[in-house]
């Protein structure tokens, strides 16, 4: 294995970290996009619409998960692809919910509507990233089952 095995492992960890960082940034972007309306409703002493609260919860769970996945060895825990799949389902539901409200809406100079139209597409990108993550983690889990340890080759992983 030698030097090339270490380089391959380092490259894969860097690629994994960049991917998780992009997930974190986009989840925090969604928190900001939907948080504007929640803050405005709170400022005017109006109720917080459940759709926007759902968006904030989904984005917060995703940001927390992406942050956890940035820690070394957390992503090596088996069956994490199930959680990634759940996050994908939450994101796709969020895209469907707000896409139905805003994709065909005409902004006509309204900054709030244009912001929400943009947020819908960020939701879709988040959903796709969590889908890729779920598939990648499932493949990683399936390939590593029954493997031998890297260092001695004696123990089962």
**Per the domain annotation, does 155 fall within a domain?**
no
In total, how many domains does the chain have? 1
In a domain, 156, yes or no: no
**Average pLDDT value for residue range 85-94:** 97
Long-range Cβ contact pairs of 34-43 (< 8 A, separation 24 or more): 34/59, 34/119, 36/112, 36/115, 37/112, 37/116
150 inside domain: no
Q: Is 149 inside any structural domain?
A: no
Where in the sequence is the domain holding 140, given as residue range(s)?
Answer: 2-144
pLDDT digits (tens, 9 = 90+) for 45-67: 787 788 999 999 999 999 999 99
More confident residue, 71 or 30: 30
Assess if residue 38 is contained within a domain.
yes
Residues 116-147: tens digit of each pLDDT: 999 999 999 999 999 999 998 898 888 877 66
User: What sign for the dihedral angle of Cα 95, 63, 130, 132?
Assistant: positive
Domain assignment of residue 8, yes or no: yes
3-state secondary structure at position 156: strand
Contacts of 48 (CB under 8 A, 6+ apart): 38, 41, 42
Residue labelled with tokens 């409200």: 101
């Amino acid at each position: 294995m030698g030097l090339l095995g270490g380089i391959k492992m380092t490259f894969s960890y860097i690629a994994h970290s960049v991917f998780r960082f992009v997930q974190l940034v986009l989840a925090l972007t969604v928190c900001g996009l939907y948080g504007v309306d929640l803050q405005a409703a709170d400022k005017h002493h109006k109720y917080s619409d459940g759709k926007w609260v759902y968006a904030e919860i989904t984005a917060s769970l995703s940001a927390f998960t992406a942050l956890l996945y940035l820690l070394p060895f957390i992503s090596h825990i088996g069956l994490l692809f199930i959680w990634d799949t759940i996050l994908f389902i939450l994101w796709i539901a969020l895209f469907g919910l707000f896409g139905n409200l805003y994709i065909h809406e005409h902004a006509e100079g309204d900054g709030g509507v244009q912001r929400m139209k943009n947020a819908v597409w960020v939701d879709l990108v988040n959903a796709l990233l969590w889908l890729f993550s779920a598939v990648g983690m499932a493949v990683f889990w399936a390939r590593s089952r029954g493997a031998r340890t890297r260092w001695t080759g004696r123990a089962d992983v």
